[in-house]
Structure 1
Amino acid sequence: MTDETLAGYANVSLYSAMAVFTIAMLCYAVYLAGLLPARDRAGAREAEAAVDRDRELVAAGAPAGEAESAASATHAGRPGRPGKPDESDVPSRARAAAGIGATTTWLGGMLLLVSVVLRGLSVERWPLGNMFEFAVMGSMFTSIAFSVWATKRDLRWLGLFITGPILLVLGMAVRVWYTEAAELLPSLQSYWLIIHVTVAVLATAIFTLGAAATAIYLVKDAFARSGRSSVLDRFPDTASLERTAYGLHIVAFPLWTFTLIAGAIWARQAWASYWNWDPKEVWTFVIWVVYAAYLHSRATSGISRQTASYIALAGYACIIVNFAVVNVFFVGQHSYSGL
């Protein structure tokens, strides 16, 4: 089998993954849509139960005022919001859609893995030599990490916010960043490519999961503070969301730290200097500083969780700039975008 044939099969696998992720995204959207009527039905049942309790108290001889107080006490702590329904309140079609979404997310990740392997075989090197390959492998790591994580926790509420961005990145990879399979530049022909760039891709994938959880936490917190009800009421509570996001960042930050250190070691071998103030080096360090500031603020008692979370999102914005802007518009020693 020729290298061109392998590269062609890699693209077919990539396009197949995009089709599968589209199905997964739509299924997760159906699941979230199914939570809305479930929430409304639960609220109606809770209101009916409160009325029934009120009637029972009145029938038992309790004054109407005391009955109303007892009913109000039942809803203390969540005024003006419907109660959180159990899983039986979710329509069966929505639950089935979520199951299909989880399965197709696994399938999409495996198809991306096949695409990455075939791409590497076609060029006889590690497939991380340009932006296109970075985007595909990053999407693969993100989808597989999410799927593995979902085997431990119920993450159906998060599926749409992971498969959607993955599909967007793959679309950009195909339409904007695509590069024909080719050999590496001499400066990239090093075992540090496997170590440095692979860890960077893995860290970016986990930061993506953390950014999604952080954004949902901030939106849900805003709704909670305003007293408004939304489908987010069916998501985990804000404290749990914030802890989840923090835990993901705790895992990703040491990986990014290693990326920074490994890059400096590779730079010493390739360019005879650990640090050259190259735009890519500078932005990698900026990302590290912003996430370090997030972790520091998260551990500081005088800074709110909301403020710390905004810093975390700023860090992810820096990652996007580093990949989509610096790689394309800044000329330096890391000009390997392939565009």
Structure 2
Amino acid sequence: MSALSDQLVTFTILAFLVAMISHAVEYALGNARPRTAAVPARELVGAGVGGSGGLTPQPPAAPGAAAAERTARRARLAGLIAVVATALGALLHLGALVTRGLAADRMPWGNMYEFVLTVSWIGVTGWLVVLWKRPSLRRLGLFLTLVMVLLVATAELVLYTPIVPLVPALNSYWFVVHVSTIVFSSGILLLGVVPAVAYLMRAGYEQGKRSFPYTLAKRMPAAAALERLTFVLHAFAFPIFTFAVIAGAIWAEAAWGRPWGWDPKETWAFISWVVYAGYLHARATPSVKRNVVAWLAVLGFLTVLMNLFGVNIFFEGLHSYGGLD
């Protein structure tokens, strides 16, 4: 089962890579539009008075219309392939997690490798739900699949850890309660940062800024739709994240005799909570610009990444069981 899980992770990366390339092809072809030929109308001279003979001139067909329509069809096909590849990648991803859990005889959340795999699966599954509800947001898939390729490849190439028993501190029913909620909320926050970054790019385009991502930004969904999606995802994830932090404090009281000790991971979880609370507060304040609100969402996810990678790699504490030596 362990070997099968490793193989499924490899196939997952390949599926997300195919999806990312297909989305890129859709972006490259997606601007095809039929062109209208600028040909002056010709007068038809007949025998009757007025010289028209009752005939109406017909405009010539645009010479590039057929080619543009073919290009548009190819773009739609590439987008469909991208969605199918993303769904296939999510299924392979789930298979990798299930087989890992069966091999370990526990929930597959015991180290950084397993945690990143689970968070990324939550993110891509959430994206498929969003796509089912709002197909018009499909072009965000380019950025989502890019994030998936980077995260899952990093997990396999850098964070991989052989299956080992849980450390004693994790042998508790709170392991399922606390870790499942922190994993789920982190996955939704991972998904939420994608439209936040896309909003910053698209808003700049709509304001007439011709910056580096101009070519990508002009093909994205409208800025208002991206901003709304960012808010909905964060408003959904924040209460779950709050519960996860509280559950972690209760677990710490049972395991270490104190609910809070400013351990590095506890500290960064608190920092993340404050930033995300600030995001929601700013979003509810009309005087705060939407660009500032979006940057708070990006900053919040950077703190989540710091808690996931930085704390486990650079700090020592009671939570130092990420599986890295």
TM-score calculated relative to the size of structure 2: 0.86
Residue of structure 1 in register with 2:307 after alignment: 322
Q: 2:14 aligns with which of 4, 7, 19?
A: 19
Residue of structure 1 in register with 2:144 after alignment: 162
Question: Given the superposition, is the C-alpha separation of residues 227 and 281 from structure 1 closer, same or farther in structure 2, using an over 3 Å criterion?
Answer: closer
Q: Give the Cα–Cα distance (whole angstroms) in 2 for the partners of residues 90 and 227 of structure 1.
A: 28
Q: Give the Cα–Cα distance (whole angstroms) in 1 for the partners of residues 168 and 106 of structure 2.
A: 13
8 Å CA contact 1:162, 1:209 repeated in 2: yes
Residue of structure 2 in register with 1:219 after alignment: 201
Residue of structure 2 in register with 1:30 after alignment: 25
Residue of structure 1 in register with 2:122 after alignment: 141
Counting aligned pairs with the same residue, the percent is 39
Question: Given the superposition, is the C-alpha separation of residues 20 and 338 from structure 1 closer, same or farther in structure 2, using an over 3 Å criterion?
Answer: same
Structure 1 residue 230 displacement after superposition: 3.8
Q: 2:2 aligns with which of 1, 4, 7?
A: 7
Question: Given the superposition, is the C-alpha separation of residues 243 and 336 from structure 1 closer, same or farther in structure 2, using an over 3 Å criterion?
Answer: same
State the one-letter code of the partner of 1:13.
L
Residue of structure 2 in register with 1:272 after alignment: 257
SS of structure 1 residue aligned to 2:273: helix
Residue of structure 2 in register with 1:260 after alignment: 245
Residue of structure 2 in register with 1:210 after alignment: 192
Structure 2 residue 130 is the aligned partner of structure 1 residue 130: no
Structure 1 residue 236 displacement after superposition: 2.2
SS of structure 1 residue aligned to 2:228: helix
SS of structure 1 residue aligned to 2:108: coil
Q: Give the Cα–Cα distance (whole angstroms) in 1 for the partners of residues 38 and 266 of structure 2.
A: 62
Q: 2:164 aligns with which of 168, 179, 182?
A: 182
For structure 2, list consecutive stretches of 5 or more residues without a partner in the other structure. Answer: 42-67
8 Å CA contact 2:198, 2:220 repeated in 1: no
Runs of 4+ in structure 1 off by over 4 angstroms are 87-90
Q: Deviations over 1:214-258 (max 9, x none)?
A: 111111111222354644333322112111111111111111111
Question: Given the superposition, is the C-alpha separation of residues 153 and 88 from structure 1 closer, same or farther in structure 2, using an over 3 Å criterion?
Answer: farther
Structure 1 residue 303 displacement after superposition: 0.9
Question: Given the superposition, is the C-alpha separation of residues 299 and 110 from structure 1 closer, same or farther in structure 2, using an over 3 Å criterion?
Answer: same
Q: Give the Cα–Cα distance (whole angstroms) in 1 for the partners of residues 173 and 180 of structure 2.
A: 11
**1:12-161 aligned within 5 A:** 12-36=7-31, 38=32, 41=33, 45=36, 91-154=72-135, 155-161=137-143
8 Å CA contact 1:35, 1:231 repeated in 2: no
State the one-letter code of the partner of 1:232.
A
Residue of structure 2 in register with 1:84 after alignment: none
Structure 1 residue 97 displacement after superposition: 1.1
Q: Deviations over 1:2-53 (max 9, x none)?
A: xxxx1111111111111111111111111111123x2xx36x55x969x99x
Q: Give the Cα–Cα distance (whole angstroms) in 2 for the partners of residues 188 and 11 of structure 1.
A: 24
Structure 1 residue 88 displacement after superposition: 6.6
Residue of structure 2 in register with 1:198 after alignment: 180
Structure 1 residue 111 displacement after superposition: 0.8
8 Å CA contact 2:26, 2:76 repeated in 1: yes
SS of structure 1 residue aligned to 2:288: coil
Q: Give the Cα–Cα distance (whole angstroms) in 1 for the partners of residues 38 and 124 of structure 2.
A: 42
For structure 1, list consecutive stretches of 5 or more residues without a partner in the other structure. Answer: 1-5, 53-86
Q: Give the Cα–Cα distance (whole angstroms) in 1 for the partners of residues 14 and 216 of structure 2.
A: 27
Of 90-99 and 227-236, the range deviating more from structure 2:
227-236
Q: Give the Cα–Cα distance (whole angstroms) in 2 for the partners of residues 14 and 231 of structure 1.
A: 29
Structure 1 residue 322 displacement after superposition: 1.0
SS of structure 1 residue aligned to 2:6: helix
Of 148-157 and 278-287, the range deviating more from structure 2:
148-157
Q: Which has the larger radius of gyration?
A: 2
Structure 1 residue 138 displacement after superposition: 1.1
Q: Give the Cα–Cα distance (whole angstroms) in 2 for the partners of residues 190 and 171 of structure 1.
A: 30
Q: Give the Cα–Cα distance (whole angstroms) in 2 for the partners of residues 330 and 300 of structure 1.
A: 36
Structure 1 residue 139 displacement after superposition: 1.4
TM-score calculated relative to the size of structure 1: 0.82
Q: Give the Cα–Cα distance (whole angstroms) in 1 for the partners of residues 179 and 193 of structure 2.
A: 21
SS of structure 1 residue aligned to 2:30: helix
Larger proportion of helix: 1
Q: Deviations over 1:182-216 (max 9, x none)?
A: 10001101111112111111111111121110111
Structure 1 residue 90 displacement after superposition: 6.2
Q: Give the Cα–Cα distance (whole angstroms) in 2 for the partners of residues 219 and 18 of structure 1.
A: 27
8 Å CA contact 2:312, 2:322 repeated in 1: yes
Of 193-202 and 324-333, the range deviating more from structure 2:
193-202
